[in-house]
Amino acid sequence: MTRLRPVPMTALVTSLGVVPMAIATGAGAEVQKPLATVVIGGLISATLLNLLVLPAHYVCFGRVQAPAGDTEISAGVRTALAE
């Protein structure tokens, strides 16, 4: 939850910085346009993976620390008890 705002903001600012390369028509545009589209696509996919897929993997495969005194196993995930 802490990273919900900084991650999309960073990707958005970087994508907006690359947009001029993506719409360029001058000298060198034939090299800049494909590079810019790849960078923008990579930022979008990396942001989605970082915000959706990675937390889901933590929940499914990671060890979740249980609150103090809680010994139940929830949702099939073995919880790590606080020592």
Residue 35 counted as domain residue: yes
Q: What is the pLDDT of residue 75?
A: 45
Q: Does residue 61 lie within any of the structural domains? A: yes
**Domain-embedded: residue 1:** no
Residue 33 CA to residue 25 CA, distance in Å, equals: 9
Backbone angles phi, psi at 2, to 5 degrees: -65, -30
Which H or E run includes 65? strand 64-65
* Residue 63 contacts residue 79 (beta carbons within 8 Å): yes
Domain count, the chain: 1
- Please identify every stretch of the chain with a pLDDT value under 50, giving residue numbers as ranges: 75-83
Q: What is the pLDDT of residue 38?
A: 94
For residue 53, the enclosing domain spans 6-80
pLDDT in tens, 49-68: 988 888 888 888 876 565 55
Residue 13 in domain: yes
pTM above 0.75, yes or no: no
Q: Torsion over CA of 19, 20, 22 and 27, rounded to 10 degrees?
A: -170
Specify the pLDDT at position 63: 67
